[in-house]
């Protein structure tokens, strides 16, 4: 019988390109507060919860804020972000992702989403790929942000897989650290230098061929 592993995917910047919408929504708030918010600053928010992201932005501008103000900005950020998602469709799926999901499905592997996003399910629905996922664990299900591995541990548990038999695809440093802390195989999607802690690194999914996935399934040294 074929080995069954748990393949766990982050969402933003891995499966779909919604990272740009987060950036635009945060930039809007930062600019309203007089903070110059750049793409470099945005890297600090990858894989981080919404609440912590706002704190990071306020720290960048050296701004003290009441909890009431913070709550208001968090609501505003989410509303702005959701307004960008209204017209999302399958064209937002990043290149090379679908062939990998199809291959895993055909080979009867466990597929999970493990994301800090609280909007993961509507995004999967809008892009038409919800059916590929056996399990979805998102920001509504966990209380600890990456690099705490809670989101991945839950996903593996729901797929009845051990940590050692779980493979995580991530584009953030915090996400790679979370996978490594949990003793899972970490696959970085993005910049080699930024994601240097990952066990394997690819610039995007078009660089991943089926032989690599097959090797992960069968525990070969890749």
Closest CA to 184 of 156, 147, 221: 156
The residues of the chain that CATH labels 3.40.50.1000 are 6-17+93-218
Looking at domain 19-85, which CATH architecture does it have? Orthogonal Bundle (1.10)
Does residue 96 register a pLDDT over 90?
Answer: yes
Does residue 2 register a pLDDT over 70?
Answer: no
Residues 6+ apart with CB under 8 A from 153: 163, 182
At residue 117, the pLDDT reads 85
Does residue 180 register a pLDDT over 90?
Answer: yes
More confident residue, 72 or 117: 72
User: With pLDDT > 70 as the criterion, what percentage of the chain qualifies?
Assistant: 98
More confident residue, 56 or 145: 56
Closest CA to 45 of 66, 73, 76, 24: 24
What's the mean pLDDT in 153-163?
97
Report, as residue numbers or ranges, the catalytic residues.
Answer: 10, 12
Whole-prediction pTM: 0.83
At residue 157, the pLDDT reads 97
- Domain 6-17+93-218: CATH superfamily, name plus number: HAD superfamily/HAD-like (3.40.50.1000)
At residue 204, the pLDDT reads 97
The residues of the chain that CATH labels 1.10.150.240 are 19-85
């Amino acid at each position: 019988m074929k080995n069954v592993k748990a393949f766990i995917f982050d969402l933003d910047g891995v499966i779909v390109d919604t990272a740009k919408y987060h950036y635009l929504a945060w930039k809007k708030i930062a600019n309203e507060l007089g903070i110059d918010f750049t793409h470099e600053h945005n890297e600090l928010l990858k894989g981080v919860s919404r609440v912590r992201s706002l704190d990071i932005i306020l720290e960048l501008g050296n701004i003290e804020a009441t909890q009431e103000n913070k709550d208001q900005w968090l609501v505003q950020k989410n509303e702005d972000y959701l307004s960008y998602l209204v017209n999302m469709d399958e064209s937002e799926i990043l290149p090379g992702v679908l062939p990998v999901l199809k291959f895993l499905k055909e080979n009867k592997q466990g597929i999970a989403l493990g994301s800090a996003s609280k909007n993961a399910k509507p995004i999967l629905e809008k892009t038409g790929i919800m059916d590929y996922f056996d399990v979805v664990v998102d920001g509504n299900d966990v209380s600890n942000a990456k690099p705490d591995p809670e989101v991945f541990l839950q996903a593996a548990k729901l797929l009845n897989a051990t940590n050692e038999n779980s493979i995580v695809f991530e584009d953030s440093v915090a996400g790679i650290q979370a996978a490594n802390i949990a003793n899972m195989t970490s696959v970085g999607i993005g910049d080699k230098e930024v994601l240097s802690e990952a066990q394997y690194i690819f610039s995007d999914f078009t660089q991943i061929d089926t032989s690599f996935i097959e090797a992960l399934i069968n525990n070969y040294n890749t």
